[in-house]
Every structure is written in C-alpha cells, then in structure tokens.
Amino acid sequence: MVIMNTEIRLYEKGLQIRTGLSGESLFVQWQSIRGISCTKNRQVLINMATNEGIIKLQKVNNETDVKQFKKILKSTVPEIGIKYMKLEPDNLRSIEIKRSEKLFDEQERRVNQFVKNYGGKNNSEIEDAWCKYLEENLRFPFEAEIMDDPGPLKVGDILKVTGIDGNDDLYGIIVTVRKGRKKYWFPLCTLELVEKGSKNYQLVDDYNFWFSNR
C-alpha cells in the first residue's frame, strides 16, 4: 500500500494516516508495527512493516517535514527502531522486502554484538567505543555522499573524508572532510559511503544504524 499526500496524527495507541486525496483514513496501532525504514534520497519514502503488510508513505511536496515526523515518532515510541537506507527513485517499486528485512536482521545482530563486546553501560560510553573502533579500522581517505543536514553544502554532494575529529553529544562522531580545497566538519551520521562494496561502508553503516536507533 502506497499512500501519498498524507496527514499523520499520533495518538497514545497508534497513528492515524489520512490521505489528502480521498479523505479516507487508516489507523495503525503501535503494537502492530514491526519496523520502520526511511530512504535517504530526495524522494523520501517511509516503509512501515506491520502485521498486515508494508505501508509506504511517500513525500511529494516540500512542505512535508519528514525529519520532524521521525523525531516525534522516536520520542513517542522509543522502542520502535528506524532503519535508514538509500534507494534509487527508479527502483522504488521493486523493493525486495524480504531481502531488506534479512539485511536489517543481520545488521542488528552485528551492532548488538559490537555493543556487547566493546560498549559500556550508556550511550556516551558506547559512542566512545565506536569512535575508537572506527579510528582503528577505517581506511582514510574515502568518498561519502551528504544524505541529510548539509549545512553550507548540498544533499548529494560528494566529500572526501580524511579522518575522525571526535565526538559530539548531539551529533555523534564528527569527521573532517574536504570538498575541493575547503575543509569542513560533518557528523558521520549524515554521510553515506560511495563505495558500497568496501569494508568501510559496512563499518560506517553499522555505526549509523546504532546512532539512529540508540
């Protein structure tokens, strides 16, 4: 089910999805949601895996504040994990749901194992463990694409990541990057590696998975 131009209202027992086209509404209980994934490209799509199937909420206008929706959703129901992934617009109709769920489960196991082996008792200690682990295992430099919160640059810009600068309480691991001759500092959670098959990609993607669900 793909729903466009939606108005979403959050309630204690679930969320109401009202379409702007037909005026009809759908109520989804929190307990029926098994997971949520969001695309990272300009054509935003939110996939909600429920007991009844997949519900896709697609952004079609600039007024839709998807980032604010995700913040409200996470604060309202913190136990619901949100998975972020990049999908090409031309391939949105051919999403392999079963494969995505399998990859989600595998990544969740890897991240949980990392927290168990290296993490501490709170998010701050786990963040420090991630920072040290990535400093020791990432190979610099590498190219990454801006996926969110571009600041002075644009979503979609390609940057050269040259190293880790440290941690921030709000934005997590901060990396030093270059675009041309200019140097910037970016939260790692806003970047995605260009080389998908590299070891660097999985390391950064696992960290971003933890950061978005911490």
Closest CA to 129 of 112, 114, 107, 141: 114
208 and 103 fall within a common domain: yes
Cα within 13 Å of Cα(109), Cβ side: 6
The pLDDT value given to residue 95: 42
- The residue among 39, 73, 92 that closes a domain is 92
φ, ψ of residue 129 to 5 degrees: the values are -65, -40
The pLDDT value given to residue 34: 78
Calculate what percentage of the chain has a pLDDT beyond 70: 73
Distance of alpha carbon 105 from alpha carbon 83, whole angstroms: 11
128 and 204 fall within a common domain: yes
Query: How many domains in the chain?
Result: 2
| Mean pLDDT of the residues in the chain | 79
Q: Residue 42: pLDDT above 70?
A: no
The pTM score is 0.57
The CATH number linked to 82 is 2.30.29.30
75 and 107 fall within a common domain: no
Please list the residues that pair with 184 across neighbouring strands. Answer: 177
Closest CA to 147 of 198, 84, 56: 84
What tens digit of pLDDT does each residue of 82-136 get? 766 654 444 444 444 445 566 777 888 899 899 888 877 788 899 999 999 999 9
Q: Residue 168: pLDDT above 60?
A: yes
- Which domain covers residue 23, as residue numbers? 2-92
End-to-end CA distance of the chain: 29
82 and 129 fall within a common domain: no
72 and 165 fall within a common domain: no
